[in-house]
C-alpha cells in the first residue's frame, strides 16, 4: 500500500514535471513564426523580388503632377488681414474671454456609424495613388551635415507582379496548409508598407512598436483587426496615435484585398502584423 501510494505520488510528480518542461515552452512557441519558412525560401527563390520600399505601381494614364509637400497655404489667412502696424505704447492685452469648454462632449447618437463590419467596397475606385516621390527613408530626419544631398536610394519601381490584381501570388499548386514563402510574405509586407502612414517625428517614435491582430475573410478582405496591447492603447496617447495609424493601414482600401495566396487560407486567416518604424529612423 505504502509502495503504491509512493508510486502514485512519484508518478504524478514526474508527470507534472515533464508536462511543465515540455508543454509550457512549447505552448509559448506557438506565437512565433516557424523558422523553416526562411530555409524553404532561400532554396526556391534566391532573392525576394519585392523591393522594400514598394512604390505603388503608377498607372501612367492617371499620372498627375504630385506635389510632394503640402502647399504652404498658410499665408492665405495670414495675408488676409495684416494688422496695420500701429505704433502703440505697450498696451494691456485685451483680456481674452475664456471659452468655456464643455467637459462632456455631447455625442449625439445620430451620427453613430453603423457597426457593421467595414465591408471594403468591392472595387473601390482606386484613385490610383499618384506616383509618389519616393522618399529616402534614411533621410526622413533631415540632416544637412550629410555630405551628399541624400541621393534618393534607387528605389525600383516595383515590377508589377500582378499583385494589384486579385490574382494569387504564386502557383495554385501550393499544397494546402503550406507555409507562405518569403516572396509571398514580402508581397503582403510591401502592400502594408504602402498603406501605412508612419507618425514621423513623434517623441521616441522608434520605440513605438504596434502589434495588430487581424482576422481575414476567405476573400482576403479584413474581417476584424484589433490592437494587441489595449492596456497601453488606453494609457499612452503616443501609442494610441501609432496604433491608430497601424489600424488605418490594415483597413485602407489600398490594402484590400490583401495580397495573399488564396489557397493558403489556413496560413493567413489569422495574421499578426508588427508595425515598427525602426528602419525609418
Residue 75 CA to its chain's centroid (Å): 35
Which of 154, 128, 127 is closest to 57 using CA atoms?
128
> What's the min distance (Å) between Cβ of 178 and other proteins?
11
Residue with cell 467595414: 118
Q: How many residues bind other proteins (CB under 8 A)?
A: 122
> What's the min distance (Å) between Cβ of 129 and other proteins?
8
Which of 243, 219, 215, 217 is closest to 229 using CA atoms?
243
> What's the min distance (Å) between Cβ of 223 and other proteins?
13
The single residue among 152, 155, 238, 262 that binds other proteins, judged by CB under 8 A, is 238
Give whichever of 53 and 161 is closer to other proteins, judged by the CB atom.
53
> What is the pattern of x (binds other proteins, CB under 8 A) and - over residues 161-200?
----------------x--x----x--xx--xxxxxxxxx
Residue with cell 509637400: 69
Q: Does 249 bind other proteins (CB under 8 A)?
A: yes
- For residues 273 and 192, is the Cβ–Cβ distance under 8 A? yes
CB atoms under 10 Å from CB of 269, counted, come to 15
Give whichever of 103 and 173 is closer to other proteins, judged by the CB atom.
103
Give the pairing type, strands 222-227 and 270-275: unpaired
> What's the min distance (Å) between Cβ of 264 and other proteins?
9
The single residue among 2, 36, 47, 86 that binds other proteins, judged by CB under 8 A, is 86
Amino acid at each position: 500500500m505504502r509502495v503504491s501510494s509512493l508510486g502514485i505520488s512519484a508518478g504524478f510528480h514526474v508527470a507534472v514535471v515533464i508536462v511543465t518542461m515540455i508543454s509550457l515552452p512549447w505552448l509559448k512557441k506557438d506565437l512565433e513564426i516557424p523558422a523553416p519558412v526562411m530555409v524553404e525560401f532561400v532554396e526556391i527563390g534566391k532573392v525576394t523580388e519585392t523591393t522594400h520600399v514598394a512604390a505603388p505601381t503608377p498607372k501612367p494614364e492617371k499620372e498627375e503632377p504630385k506635389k510632394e509637400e503640402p502647399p504652404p497655404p498658410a499665408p492665405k489667412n495670414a495675408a488676409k488681414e495684416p494688422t496695420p502696424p500701429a505704433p502703440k505704447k505697450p498696451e494691456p492685452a485685451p483680456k481674452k474671454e475664456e471659452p468655456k469648454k464643455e467637459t462632456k462632449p455631447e455625442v449625439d447618437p445620430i451620427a453613430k456609424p453603423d457597426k457593421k463590419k467595414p465591408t471594403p467596397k468591392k472595387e473601390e475606385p482606386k484613385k490610383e495613388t499618384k506616383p509618389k516621390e519616393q522618399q529616402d527613408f534614411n533621410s526622413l530626419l533631415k540632416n544637412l551635415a550629410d555630405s551628399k544631398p541624400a541621393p534618393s536610394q534607387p528605389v525600383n519601381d516595383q515590377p508589377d507582379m500582378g499583385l494589384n490584381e486579385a490574382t494569387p501570388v504564386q502557383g495554385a499548386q501550393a499544397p494546402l496548409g503550406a507555409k507562405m514563402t518569403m516572396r509571398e510574405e514580402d508581397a503582403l509586407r510591401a502592400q502594408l508598407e504602402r498603406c501605412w502612414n508612419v507618425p514621423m517625428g513623434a517623441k521616441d517614435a522608434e520605440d513605438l512598436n504596434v502589434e495588430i491582430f487581424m482576422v481575414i475573410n476567405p476573400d482576403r478582405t479584413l474581417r476584424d483587426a484589433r490592437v494587441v496591447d489595449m492596456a497601453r492603447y488606453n494609457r499612452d496617447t503616443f501609442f494610441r496615435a501609432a496604433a491608430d495609424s497601424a489600424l488605418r493601414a490594415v483597413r485602407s482600401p489600398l490594402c484590400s484585398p490583401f495580397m495573399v495566396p488564396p489557397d493558403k487560407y489556413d496560413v493567413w486567416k489569422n495574421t499578426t502584423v508588427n508595425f515598427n518604424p525602426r528602419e525609418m529612423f
